[in-house]
Amino acid sequence: MHQSCWLTLLLFFLFFSAQSSPLDSSTVKKKYFTKPVVGSITLDGKITEEAWEAVAWGGDFVQYQPNDGKAPSQLTDFKILYDDKFLFVAFRCHDVAPDSIVKRLGRRDEFPGDFVEINIDSYHDLRTAFSFTTSVSGVRGDELISNNGNNWDASWNPIWFAKTYINDDGWTAEIKIPLSQLRYGNEPEKVWGIQVQRRLFRKEERSTWQHIPQNAGVWVSAFGELHGLKNIPLHRQVEIAPYVTAQIDKYKKEPGNPFAKGSDSKVTGGVDGKFAITNDLILDFTVNPDFGQVEADPSQVRIDGFQNFFEERRPFFIESRNIFDYRLTGSEAGGDYDSDLLFYSRRIGSSPHKQPNLADGEYLSAPLNTSILGAAKFSGKTRKGWSIGILESITQREMATIDQKELRRKELVEPLTSYFVGRIQKDIKAGNTILGGIITSVNREKGLTSMLHRNAFSGGLDFLHYWRNRTWYIRGNVVGSHVQGTKEAILQTQTAFEHLFQRPNASEVAVDSNRTSLTGFGGTFRFGKIGGKSGRLGEVFKFETGLTFRSPELELNDIGFMLTANEINHFTWAGFHFQKPFSIFRNARINYNHWSRWDYSGQFLYQAFNTNSHATFTNYWQAGTGLTWNVFDVSNNALRGAGAIRRPAGLGHNVYVVSDTRKKVFAQLFIYNFWGAEKSVRNFEYGYMVVAQPLNALRISLEGSHSYYWRRQDQFVSSITQANNTKTIVGEVKQKTLRFTGRLSYNITPDLTLQYYGQPFITRPLYNNYGYVSNPLAKQYADRFTAFSQNQISYVNNEYHVDENGDGSADFSFNRPDFNFVQFRSNFILRWEYKAGSELYLVWSQGNTADALAELNTPIGQSLWENAFANQSRNSYLVKWTYRFLK
């Protein structure tokens, strides 16, 4: 009751704040008038053609950062022309010190050094835009802007052209954008939203043509306007990009194993394409896609039972992903629940679900990933404000081959599967209100019916409403899921880690072994403020509060991502952001968060409070720190279905420092510590990153971290069932982890780059002091467990035997849980875009995974060095050639 009253008072305060602090709306939208090209323009960056004289220079830029609203250090001008196929933009970036211009190179979308960019809202929907960035060194960057500037997607890679030129007055640039790469309507005279922005690297200064105050909380909706576009024809984009790859794998030969001869080779081909159904709705497709040039995932190992989340890196799935993005929560406060998605594209083409059991003398050949036969997506946005996204993908039936003395058999490890996602949104009142919906489905052929759902469906409805110049908002969604399968498959889902219906004393759930389907629900409601009138120091108060829930039967992991069901989470975030320089600060912010959690039985599970602060100083260094007080914690998952357990309260602290990132060499250091009550938990991690750019074309980075994780008694080990009585074995754990990541990027030209990525990794959890859970919700930590005495437990042949009653014979046993996981992953890639949209890749990938159990007593650094680079590594050499045909 106390917490509810406090929250009510806070909401009343925020409501009256909304009424008394309107956003300054005096800023007038600028207009730029363009004309058709008369004559020709040679793209060389020099702006010498007579055609440019037809239009005036646009200028009068205003600082956006750090001194919002003040005059910029250097002047910037631009011009815009067009013809039936292209939009031409010229930039003139004045600089009184041309020798100080920073001309760093980088790969596409790395935005190095000084740059200038134009954002184009050709839909003129005040929410989405296309961004084209040109660095002084000629590196191109392009992003798809959505959600009024809250999402910038650099995976969008249109075809366009840019050239730059440095002179005594600064530098200039010319860009040429094919109109086929933009989306617009068929009205005779068009009005587009535009914004032009310049970055002065040496001062980390941003200036814009259309002034948008930092406290506005908006971006696209405040753009200036481009007028004068008349009778532009519609261009239906057609692109076909066939590819061919040749790959050779080298690895250590295994005597007697017919599938490990020491080398394999293959040649494959496929095709990617785009076809504009209308000018603003695009069909993308891929047949037999190849992702061999994609950087390897970072190594991750968890011992808490939760699944790992990996970012999508495959080009087909990351382009236009903003349309398909459907987070259940996405709160400003953050939390584990923020990773939950209705559509998680990494499910498509993931590792096969089944791993065959082998008898003595048998050898296995099984695919590492499920092959994608083909995929297509239909996406875009209409002039009437409808955003549409449809994706369909088919993955291949995968079989494993098992050999025993040249007698072979096949075993199904993944059935033929169809994945479908449909997403739609509608802008109302110029995007101040947005309504949307999503549906997904997974349909599998018969096979593996005891472990996989035959069908899985999910869907959701969402809304977003802004008011007071889009600085206040309320948003929410409701989602549902329905999975179908055999009794065995549904029973497996009920007892899986995400659900754990078998937990004793869980009144809200119960296992039913006769069920053939499950239906669940979830949702989120959020209310917040993202901008407003600033104070004397440029401070702006922002906040968000909300509630997110997942019912016990909600199941999303066939095509989505969900850590756990059966939770109701409340969260609140509030902060003051100081956006103008003052004292020793360029900018600063201080935030407050709190979280509370319940399950569907009403059991209170969790409460924590946090404060954190971050600052950039006038010397361009950055620093931040945070403190989290974990007041109360009960876990329904930690015992893997044996019931809820109370976990220690504690205090966490983090701090980081980053030196001046403008320098040729800069570094970052972070430290994290957590102390559990009653000396029950200790966790610390420290890490560093050093980045060096000795040449404009060469960038080298090295980062590393070391963590130590210790729990005194409550780490789950095993569950033992005896005569209808289940004992949950727990123990002390000490886990050490080392991770290093090295990157090297050498840019011969903006379109010809060399890049290396390598990551050695080791984690080693060691267990001790075993016992069982006797009173899991006891207030005192020691009362929750009964420890085995030295006379009760013995270690024999990699197993622990427990003689609980002391009669001289073991009552039960469990496997030794210790492990020493070592992994090394690397990629060396040469990428050459020899023609716009057409590329050649040369790739060397190296991978090695070792479970070096015999080295548990070896120092962890020595074990990493001896195993990560051992000669059992698998080396893959790949050549990929693509050619893009354009219409």
pLDDT tens digits, 593-622: 999 999 999 999 999 999 999 999 999 999
Is the pTM of the predicted complex or chain greater than 0.75?
A: yes
The tokens for 587 are 């900018």
Q: Does residue 86 carry a pLDDT above 90?
A: yes
For residue 12, what pLDDT is reported?
39
Convert the pLDDT of each residue in 129-153 to its tens digit: 999 999 999 999 999 998 888 889 8
pLDDT tens-place string over residues 744-774: 999 999 999 999 999 999 999 999 999 999 9
- Of 880, 872, 868, 881, which Cα lies nearest the Cα of 826? 868
pLDDT one-digit tens code per residue, 431-453: 889 999 999 999 999 989 999 99
Over residues 334-339, mean pLDDT: 94
25: region left, alpha or beta (phi > 0 left; psi from -120 to 50 alpha): alpha
How far is CA 610 from each of CA 263, 309, 333, 622, rounded to the nearest angstrom? 54, 24, 10, 20
Interval 155-172 mean pLDDT: 93
Mean of all residue pLDDT scores within the chain: 92
Q: Which amino acid is at 536?
A: R
| Cα 830–chain centre separation | 25
Is it the case that residue 68 has pLDDT exceeding 70?
Answer: yes
Mean pLDDT for 459-464 is 97
CA angle 669, 736, 607 (to 5 degrees): 75
3-state secondary structure of 598: strand
By the 8 A CB rule, do 492 and 559 touch?
no
For 211, the 3-state DSSP assignment is coil
Residue 33: beta bridge partners? 227
Instruction: Give percent above pLDDT 70 in the chain.
Output: 97
What distance in Å separates the CA atoms of residue 352 and residue 702, rounded to the nearest whole number? 34
Question: Looking at the chain, which residues constitute the CATH 2.60.40.1190 domain(s)?
Answer: 28-230
The mean pLDDT value for 546-566 works out to 97
Classify strands 205-208 and 62-65 as parallel, antiparallel or unpaired: antiparallel
Q: What is the mean pLDDT of residues 483-499?
A: 97
Query: What is d(CA 295, CA 424) in angstroms, rounded to the nearest whole number?
Result: 31
Neighbours of 664 (CB within 10 A): 12
> Is pLDDT above 80 for 293?
no
Chain centroid, CA 874 distance in Å? 28
Q: CATH topology for 28-230?
A: Immunoglobulin-like (2.60.40)
pLDDT given for residue 26 in this prediction: 54
Q: Is the predicted pLDDT of residue 304 greater than 90, yes or no?
A: yes
Is the separation of the CB atoms in 308 and 299 below 8 Å? no
Number of Cα atoms under 13 Å in the Cβ half of residue 63: 17
Q: What pLDDT does 5 receive? A: 39
836-850 average pLDDT score? 91
Q: Per-residue confidence at 21, pLDDT binned at 50, 70, 90? A: very low
SS3 call for 284: strand
DSSP 110: -
| Residue 457 token pair | 């469906």
The model's confidence at residue 473, banded by pLDDT at 50, 70 and 90, is very high
**What is the pLDDT, as a whole number, of residue 235?**
82
Dihedral of the alpha carbons of 116, 122, 125, 128, in degrees to the nearest 10? -50
Please say if the pLDDT value at position 6 is more than 70.
no
On the question of pLDDT at 10 being above 50, the answer is no
pLDDT digits (tens, 9 = 90+) for 24-37: 445 689 999 999 99
Task: Establish whether the linkage from the previous residue to 648 is cis, with ω within 30° of 0.
Answer: no
What confidence score (pLDDT) does residue 838 get? 92
Question: 395-428: string of b/e by CB count within 10 Å (b at 16+)?
Answer: bbbbbbebbeeeeeeeebbbbbbebbbbbebebe
- Read off the pLDDT band of 184 (50, 70, 90): confident
Amino acid letter, 52: W
**Tens of pLDDT, residues 717-744:** 999 988 778 899 999 999 999 999 999 9
Region 661-684 average pLDDT:
96
Residue 648 sits at the vertex; the CA angle it makes with 644 and 654, to the nearest 5 degrees, is 125
pLDDT at 524 over 70: yes
Q: In the predicted model, is pLDDT for residue 56 greater than 80? A: yes
Give the Cα separation of 94 and 96 in Å (integer).
7
For residue 627, the tally of other CB atoms under 10 A from its CB is 14
Nearest to 684 by CA among 705, 657, 703: 705
The mean pLDDT value for 699-721 works out to 95
Among candidates 419, 308, 338, which has minimal Cα distance to 372? 419
425 HSE (CA, 13 A, CB side): 25
Q: What is the Cα–Cα distance from 444 to 496, expressed in whole angstroms?
A: 20
pLDDT band at 2 (very low <50, low <70, confident <90, very high): very low
